[in-house]
Amino acid sequence: MRKILGLSLILAILSLSACALFQHRDPLNINVVGIEPLPSQGLEMRFAVKLRLQNPNETTIDYNGVALDLEVNGHTLATGVSDQTGSIPRFSEGILSIPVSISAFSVLRQTLGLSQTQSLDNLPYVLKGKLAGGLFGTMRFVDRGTLDLPGSTATW
């Protein structure tokens, strides 16, 4: 019994010291800075979503893949992945371009989900993504807000 208790104590101390090895990182600042059309196929639309990633940390963030999901009004509208590799130096920023696809069924679901009195302006969105960085380096991010589409509401 003493051996088990001693072994448990040693494992607990080792696991606590292992946590100290992993540095705390502040979350990335993510902003959508552009959307450009890409060649489409069949019943889907394709766009390149450009993200500005700002690294407020004292260490470089390396990544080897990107995944992105865009929900609008509570429903998935667009998804995309890229096998890009790169790094964002400490206290620096970079631009990533991720191709995303929007199926005709997603557009139809969004259209049917809008009431006749609801405009395209101020629809809630959630942008979820991750920068793959190996076993302990993957960074997930979420950005929430409302769409502010110019020209979607007329004001006289």
CATH code of the domain covering residue 123? 2.60.40.10
Q: Give the domain extent around 99.
A: 23-146
**61 occurs within a structural domain:** yes
Domain count, the chain: 1
Task: Identify the burial level of 28 via C-beta atoms within 10 angstroms of its C-beta, where 0-12 means exposed, 13-18 middle and 19 or more buried.
Answer: buried
**118 occurs within a structural domain:** yes
Handedness of CA 29, 68, 50, 154 (dihedral sign): negative
**107 occurs within a structural domain:** yes
- Per residue of the chain (156 residues), give pLDDT as tens: 666 766 666 766 766 555 545 557 788 888 888 888 899 888 888 989 888 999 999 988 889 999 999 888 788 888 999 999 999 999 999 999 999 998 877 777 666 766 544 555 677 888 899 989 866 778 888 888 876 655 444 333
**153 occurs within a structural domain:** no
